[in-house]
Amino acid sequence: MNRSKTVDAPRYKNLAGYQQRVAHHEAGHATGIYLNNRDYNLPPVFFKIIFKNVNQLWDSNGLMSQDGSIAKIKGGRLVQSLMPTFKALDSKFKCADETKLQVIDEYRLAFEADIVNLLIGPLAEAKFSYQTDNELFNEKLITLRSLKNYGGDDDLALVKDYLQSYSTDQEPQYELLDQLFAKAFNFINDNSNWKAIMRLANHILSCNNDVISCEEVALVLTNNT
C-alpha cells in the first residue's frame, strides 16, 4: 500500500499541509487494517507504517530523491497471493463440500476487506483535505476516479488486480467495487472510526519515527483518551 509519489518541491508550497494529508492517508489504511478486519472477524495481519519527513525527499538543489514516495504500509494484506479467478478456488480445495464452502467464504471476506482497506487510505486523505478547506464531504462529491488526486494511484492499481481476479467480466467487477467503495466511505464517515484515524495521524506526525509497528498502531487506536 504505497502512497503515490510527491509532487515536485517548487510546486508545493505548503509542505506541512501536504505531510498532514499523507499522514491521514496512511492512518486510514492502518485503521482499516486493524479495525475493519476486526469487524469482519478476520485474523490479525502483520504490517508497519513507513513514514518519511517530507523535507528528506529533496536534496539541496531542490531535486527529488530517486525514491520520491513519502509513506507506505508494508504488509497488511490478508490475501498474499490472488487466485486467477474465484472459480479456481473450487478446484484448488479437495475437501468436503461444507468445508470447501467455508474456506471459500473466508477467502471472500479477506478479499473484500483488503479492497476496502485499500480504498480507506485515499478516502481518509480526501476527507481531511475537504475538512481543512471547510468544504462539505459526502459520497456525491467523491468518485473512485477522484481518489487519484489523493495519492490513490497505487491503491487503485492494486484494487484493479483484485477485481480482475474476482471476475473476467467487467459488470460484476463494477458491481462489487461499488459495494466496497460504499463500505469504505461508511467506514471513514463513522464518527468513532474517523476519530481513531485522526488520532493515529497525529501520532504519525508527532512520534518522529520513520517506522511504526502494528503493535504501536494498536495501542494508539485502542487508547480513547
Residue 1 lies in a domain: no
71-75 and 47-51 as β-strands: parallel, antiparallel, unpaired? antiparallel
- As a whole number of angstroms, the distance between CA 107 and CA 77 comes to 12
In a domain, 194, yes or no: yes
Please enumerate in sequence order all residues whose Cβ is within 8 A of that of 125, keeping only pairs 6 or more positions apart, or say none: 21, 22, 24, 25, 28, 150, 151, 152
Q: Into how many domains does the chain fold?
A: 1
Residue 104 lies in a domain: yes
- Sequence length of the chain is 225
Read off the CATH number of the domain in which 82 is found.
Answer: 1.20.58
Residue 174 within a domain: yes
Going residue by residue through the chain, which has 225 residues, state the pLDDT in tens, using 9 for 90 and above.
666 554 444 445 567 788 899 999 999 999 999 999 998 899 889 999 998 876 655 544 444 444 446 788 999 999 987 877 776 666 666 655 667 778 788 888 999 999 999 999 999 999 999 999 888 888 888 889 899 999 899 999 999 999 999 988 999 999 999 999 999 999 999 999 999 999 999 999 998 888 999 999 999 999 875
In a domain, 133, yes or no: yes
Distance between CA atoms of residues 2 and 72, nearest Å: 4
Which domain, by its residues, includes 212?
9-222
Q: Where are the beta strands (DSSP E) in the chain?
A: 47-51, 71-75, 211-213
Strand-pair partners of 58: 64
